Amino acid sequence: VLFSAYFALQVIYARRKHKISPPETTGHPEFERIFRAQANCSEYFPIFVSLLWVAGIFFHQGVAAVCGLLYLYTRFKYFQGYAAAAQGRLGPLYASARLLWLLLGLAAAGLLAHFLLP
Counting the structural domains of the chain, the total is: 1
Domain range holding 90?
Answer: 1-113
State the average pLDDT for the chain: 96
Q: Tell me the per-residue pLDDT of 30-56, one tens digit each, with 9 for 90 and over.
A: 999 999 999 999 999 999 999 999 999
Q: What is the CATH number of the domain that holds 44?
A: 1.20.120.550
Contacts of 92 (CB under 8 A, 6+ apart): 74, 75, 77, 78, 81
What amino acid positions are annotated as catalytic residues? 16, 89
d(CA 29, CA 51) in angstroms, rounded, equals 33
Is residue 40 situated within a structural domain?
yes
User: Considering Cα of 94, then 100, then 105, then 106, what sign does the dihedral take?
Assistant: positive
Is residue 118 situated within a structural domain?
no
- pTM value is 0.93
